[in-house]
């Protein structure tokens, strides 16, 4: 359960590990209690009187209006103590990795201890910049585009597909599939990369080639020593547009 106390409309993203999510099959406590006899509810909660759990909604509540919570709500004290790994995390306060052309901010179980099934990166791209060619060896990726116009390209062993993405669009990258995202608009683009893993891990194509014996790289791609020597041996998750 959750609530919102702001003055403007809010948006939030729900991510599920299963690809078979159905809102109609979500467990809702109001729907459950609507199917429990009133006497059983009172016995269970140890209360009496018609005004105690006598106004349970007859239908489930999914998104509904309510009273705004206090500005500084205090959670009930738990006699069992606090949980060791809280289920909320202030990702916005984490440091940002800045690159020439954009930025990346990562959250995974190394900082958000309770997040053992998901990791994510918030990526910004300046016009013309791109999220470098890379792949993930441990997880599929689910991309959600928040701002700007991007080109999203995915290569697998059976197909290559390229799409133009706008805010609200979603992309999917199978595990080990090569992909990139390029800002094709005139404003800063922002999107989320979400993986079903406890650590955010990626393989940079540029770094991989730079750390491969040069003769192998030259034989595969027909490039010269100068080109191989110019490849970055450190990971640059964002690369700038042409200047």
Would you list which residues are annotated within the binding site? 134, 136, 141, 179
Q: How far apart are CA 179 and CA 151, in angstroms?
A: 11
Q: How far apart are CA 53 and CA 48, in angstroms?
A: 9
**Catalytic annotation, pick one of 193, 201, 215, 226:** 193
120 contact partners, CB below 8 Å, separation of at least 6:
106, 107, 108, 192, 193, 194, 195, 200
Residue 193 among the catalytic residues: yes
User: What is the number of residues in the chain?
Assistant: 243
Q: How far apart are CA 107 and CA 93, in angstroms?
A: 11
Q: What are phi and psi of 216, to 5 degrees?
A: -70, -40
For the annotated binding site for Mn(2+), the residues are: 134, 136, 141, 179
Active site residues: 193
């Amino acid at each position: 359960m959750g609530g919102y106390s702001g003055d403007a409309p809010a948006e939030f993203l729900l991510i599920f590990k299963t690809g078979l999510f159905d809102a109609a099959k979500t467990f809702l406590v109001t729907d459950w209690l609507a199917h429990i006899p009133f006497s059983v509810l009172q016995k269970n909660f140890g209360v009496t009187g018609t005004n105690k759990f006598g106004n349970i909604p007859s239908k489930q509540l999914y998104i509904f209006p309510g009273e705004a919570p206090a500005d500084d709500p205090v959670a009930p004290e738990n006699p069992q103590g606090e949980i060791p790994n809280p289920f909320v995390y202030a990702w916005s306060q984490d440091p940002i990795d800045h690159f020439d052309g954009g930025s990346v901010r990562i959250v995974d179980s190394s900082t958000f201890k309770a997040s053992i099934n998901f990791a994510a990166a918030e990526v910004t791209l300046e016009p013309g910049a791109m999220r470098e060619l890379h792949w993930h060896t441990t997880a599929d990726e689910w991309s959600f585009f928040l701002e700007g116009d991007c080109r999203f390209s995915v290569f697998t062993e059976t197909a290559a597909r390229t799409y133009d993405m706008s805010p609200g669009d979603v992309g999917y990258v199978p595990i080990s599939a090569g992909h990139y995202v390029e800002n094709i608009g005139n404003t800063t683009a922002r999107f989320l990369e979400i993986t079903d893993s406890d650590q955010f891990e990626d393989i940079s194509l540029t770094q991989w080639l730079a750390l491969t014996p040069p003769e192998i790289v030259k034989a595969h791609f027909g490039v010269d020593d100068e080109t191989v020597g110019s490849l970055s041996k450190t990971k640059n998750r964002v690369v700038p547009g042409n200047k």
